[in-house]
Chain A
Amino acid sequence: MTDRRRINGPPSGTRPAVFASSLKSASGDATERPRRHRQPNELRKIFLKTGLIPSASGSAYLEYEPSASLAAARSSPQSLIPPSSALKLACTVHGPKPLPRSATFSPNLVLTTHVKYAPFAARQRKGHIRDASERDLGVHLETALRGVIVAERWPKSGLEITITILEAEDDRWWGDAPDSHDAPWGMMNVLAGCITAASAAIADARIDCLDLVAGGVAAIVSDDAVAEEGSSSTPKLMLDTDPAEHKSILSACVVAYMPARDEITEIWLKGDHSKASLGVDDSSLGHEALIDGAINAARGAHTVLVEAVLESAERYAGLSSSDS
């Protein structure tokens, strides 16, 4: 069925370009997997700015620092295939506004979240209609934010949070066979970014929150590259993993965390962490270490968030003083 409200391409569909090097790489190694140059507990830099969209009551734009391989590919482009990608997303908050007449009475603020990938966000072209994974992200985001907003201050009103992902994280390295990683790990990074950006946008809309909630990702990875060096082949805990940089991710975890209250509003843990023994000195269980790692990553994101919200508050204070 064709979408009659949009302009559709050729009716027979089109095929993404196939690169000659990827045909060859089945036999030999054409290009190298991007390497992680950061320390295991080092986060990527986050660019977060509020108030870029004046027509919304609150807005934020978030961008991750490109990984070393991507930055190198940008400065001196050799190949048309990007080695990895860096998250870029825009978040807008509309409201609080009265609920439509048809809606049932609600004593609390009704939160709706929409997460949508731009068609050009991922390596594979995305459709215009939200698919299941985008809806899933929206639900995860809603649970993460519902626990933060003081909802009873706005009865009978609604708050709409819309996130447009301009560039998503890769789920795996492009050179890997499509079935080598089972789970879409990139989604977890995207969710962490969504939580941080939405939190900044909500604060920018000056909606009362318990705390600034921040998202963080940690993963247990087993890297072949490490094994070859002979140091150890045991799985390692890494913060803020870029899935393109790792051969196999055993398990990953996203949390939405409020540092001031030491509370977690959303936890999403995926993969097999039972077999992962984290070194000799680390006696804690796999999933606890994983959650602690994610919390640490969230703490890191929180520092950026505080700066961005402070900037938003200063702008608001400046505006209100010039108005009166």
Chain B
Amino acid sequence: MSTVLQNLVNQPYKHGFVTHIESDVAPKGLSEDTIRLISGKKNEPEWLLEFRLKAYRHWLTMQEPKWPNVHYPKIDFQAISYYSAPKPKNKLASMDEVDPELLRTFEKLGVPMNERAKLAGVAVDVIFDSVSVATTYKAKLAEVGIIFGSISEAVHQHPELVKQYLGTVVPVGDNYYAALNSAVFTDGSFCFIPKGVKCPMDLSTYFRINTQESGQFERTLIVAEEGASVSYLEGCTAPKFDTNQLHAAVVELIALDNADIKYSTVQNWYAGDEKGVGGIYNFVTKRGLCKGVNSRISWTQVETGSAITWKYPSCILRGENSVGEFYSVALTNHFQQADTGTKMIHLGRNTRSTIVSKGISAGHSNNSYRGLVRIAPTAAGARNYSRCDSMLIGDRCGANTFPYIQVSNQSAQVEHEASTSKIGEDQLFYFAQRGIGAEEAVSMIINGFCKDVFQQLPMEFAVEATKLLGLKLEGSVG
């Protein structure tokens, strides 16, 4: 490893600042009372409280999973405050009424809201801590019948839809953290695209964790009816804190006949400092159900933040001819740990899935790809192609690949490939020879390595992601 390569990863977290807004914080601890409090604060209907309590009672019987390839001190679930909302104000009529402090926060993050949002053509549903404070472009979307807003609003305005779909892809008892989320989720996004509607713009939401020690438990539900299509973007940044924060979100996607959902994520939460102190624990359950024929769900993720990332955006391919896709770039540096990948469950005939995963490890970090491709006996003619590549920068990091392939149908074709490489001295020399410095060369090599994934991102995100990787790796190479 050349000395040029050693020095580039140590870029301080640029989004690390704390906004002082009075928060309405629930006392620490988790019990049925906490859940009743959350439910009460949000004026939730009885069925949702039952949903939460059922999840909580199931959670109590569950064990924290031990199988992932990540290590962290035991989480004290009684030391977390499960509800934190910016101080309730009267309903806002326009963006001008939003707390200027809050707006400045988004300003610093470069979120394209109000005017900039319009220019960028993006409707942003901003989640600040746990409550949705501003929703733009709602009216425009409503014209074509799209419902896009916070899930707590949807519970009141469209209870029948929420009740019909919530928990159908990720059941309350699915896994330890999904059960916890189902019990205490505070807010998140809800998106419903009615029959035959192609969403006219990319929908996007920014999540931010603000109050120290308030784990964020969002819940996202996206339903695309027959023939509908939508592209949804999720971007994440969080301020710098020293205590670890737990983030256990659940995302559910449902695609009916001929529907198409594209879900893109750029995750850049605080990863802890160079010594591995602090950082977010990102334990997320994301799952999409291709329920109808010819439906398609595509996950694209760029994971650069969090002390620990542990998530497997998955597709259940139930409808005939349905398609699942997973494109991922996971970058870990310093003491970050990532155990991420996907699950493709082929149930229907002629279902197809593609997995492209790129892992980059630097510093003392540990990056694992864990994937499952399961072909059920019913999935005649199913097809899967997986490719996962790892790149190591430095000799103290680790890259692991754990692909599980389970095939119970002879007509299925499953292929898996993986490789490991590094940024070679000869490559850097080649760049230097052409007058390109080490830092820029590394950035170009990494971008080339990740190209297959970046191509899947919407354009603004692709630009952001490219910059982000450059930023994260500054100082690691050299």
A binds B: no
